[in-house]
Amino acid sequence: MRKGFLVMKNKKLMILILAAAVVVIGIILLMQGGKKSYSAQPASLQLNLTPGQSVKLRRTQRVDLEVKGFMGPTMDYKLELDYTITCKEVKPDGTMFLEQRWDAGRLEGSGRKGPLEWDSSKGPRVIPPQAKLYSKLVGNSIELEVTPKGEVVEIWGLEVIADALLYQAGIRVSNEITEEQYKNYQEMKMDEVWETKEHILDPSFREYPEKTFQPVDTWLTNDTGIITGTVGTALNLTYKGMHNQHACFEVATTVTGGGTPEKERTFDVERQVKGDGKGEVEVDVETGLIVGAEVTFDWIIHATNEFLWQPELRSKEKIEGQTVTIIKRL
């Protein structure tokens, strides 16, 4: 009896030891799961979609900024936009006719004036300022002719983006603005969009370099606004290697601005802006589209506000915090 008891006791002890080992191994694997491994495989980038191919993506911006000054309080929200890139046709030289469609958008969190909420699937409602641009883009599309190197040859439907930007700025046909005046604003905005390529083929870089990247190779390019939110900002990209057939680049960038007063309806605003960003971007080597990204910015913004109707009243505020831009394939 004593021997059998010891055998049973030892078996139970072994089971407990094995169970503990499984837990420990699971924890180790979980901790290692967040780490990417990169192959040293070289990568060449270009746009390369086939007729009928569609890629669905989601771009998310997370904002957490603390406002110290008369405009307070903290801004803490998440803004999402879903869009689809579809290839309609490919010419013999590889030039593609693409459709970019904005499918859906959502906003939740809190802002200067309280709770923020918007969902494009829930119909008309009061739209927070942070969502005004997206609210006009959702449900619309543009078509583009684009070369494999990312050069935009032609665009159809630019008025869609122009109207959205004007709506965001509060410009629309009214007692103060005639239809003819609005048309002039629209044409100027369309010219501006054509020059900057802002909001055009969002999930890709412009003018891919004619080179094959090796690990640690660097690439200096300009952002179209999808990573930094500011068109023309320099992006320093360092090739890290391949992961799941994605060319992965480490991102480092600094956004600066200010010095020139910006006229608004109620204020003269002078700002000094600095944002340091770092993170990673993944480019699908099959299509040439950015299908993954997470870039974090640390911001410090100093602003001086002056009431137009009472210039002697001046107020300063300081904004500090973080924003994160995330792109993922759906």
Kindly state whether residue 30 falls inside one of the protein's structural domains: no
Q: Of 32-46, 54-68, 79-93, 148-162, which range is least confident?
A: 32-46
Kindly state whether residue 225 falls inside one of the protein's structural domains: yes
Task: State residue 257's pLDDT score.
Answer: 76
Task: State residue 315's pLDDT score.
Answer: 72
pLDDT digits 0-9 by tens, 244-301: 999 999 999 998 876 555 455 455 667 788 899 999 999 999 999 999 999 999 999 8
Kindly state whether residue 246 falls inside one of the protein's structural domains: yes
Q: Is the pLDDT of residue 304 over 80?
A: no
Burial 137-176 (b: 16+ CB within 10 A, else e): bbeebbebbbbbbbebeebeebbbbbbbbbbbeebeeeee
Q: What percentage of the chain exceeds 90 in pLDDT? A: 61
Task: State residue 98's pLDDT score.
Answer: 98
Kindly state whether residue 7 falls inside one of the protein's structural domains: no
13 band by pLDDT with thresholds 50, 70 and 90: very low
- Give the side-chain half-sphere CA count within 13 A for 143: 6
Kindly state whether residue 31 falls inside one of the protein's structural domains: no
Task: State residue 272's pLDDT score.
Answer: 85
Kindly state whether residue 212 falls inside one of the protein's structural domains: yes
DSSP letter for each residue of 238-295 = EEEEEETTEEEEEEEEEEEEESS-EE-SSEEEEEEEEEEEEEEEEEETTT--EEEEEE
Q: Are the beta carbons of 241 and 40 closer than 8 angstroms?
A: yes
Kindly state whether residue 20 falls inside one of the protein's structural domains: no
Give the range of the structural domain holding residue 254, as residue numbers without chain letter. Answer: 44-329
Q: Token pair for residue 164?
A: 């959205």
Q: Is the pLDDT of residue 7 over 60?
A: no
Per the listing, tokens 């999402």 go with: 80
The 8-class DSSP code of residue 320 comes to E
Task: State residue 232's pLDDT score.
Answer: 81
Q: What is the average per-residue pLDDT within 77-104? A: 97
28 band by pLDDT with thresholds 50, 70 and 90: very low
Mapped onto helix, strand or coil, the DSSP state of residue 153 is strand
| Of 10 and 158, more confident | 158
Alpha-carbon distances, residue 238 vs 83, 84, 232 (angstroms): 27, 27, 18
| Domain total of the chain | 1
Mapped onto helix, strand or coil, the DSSP state of residue 97 is strand
Name, of 70-79, 84-93, 272-281, 302-311, the range with top average pLDDT. 84-93
Task: State residue 314's pLDDT score.
Answer: 64
Kindly state whether residue 28 falls inside one of the protein's structural domains: no
Task: State residue 73's pLDDT score.
Answer: 65
Query: Can you say whether the dihedral through the CA atoms of 254, 105, 111, 293 is positive or negative?
Result: negative
Q: Token pair for residue 210?
A: 């004619």
- Give the side-chain half-sphere CA count within 13 A for 153: 11
Cα angle: 252, vertex 253, 257; to 5 degrees:
165
Task: State residue 142's pLDDT score.
Answer: 97
> Using DSSP, how many helices (H) and how many strands (E) does the chain show?
4, 13
Q: What is the average per-residue pLDDT within 151-165? A: 96
Q: Are the beta carbons of 279 and 297 closer than 8 angstroms?
A: no
Beta strand pairing call for 314-329 and 54-68: antiparallel
Q: What is the CATH number of the domain that holds 67?
A: 2.30.230
The 8-class DSSP code of residue 19 comes to H
pTM to 2 decimals?
0.81
Q: What percentage of the chain exceeds 70 in pLDDT? A: 82
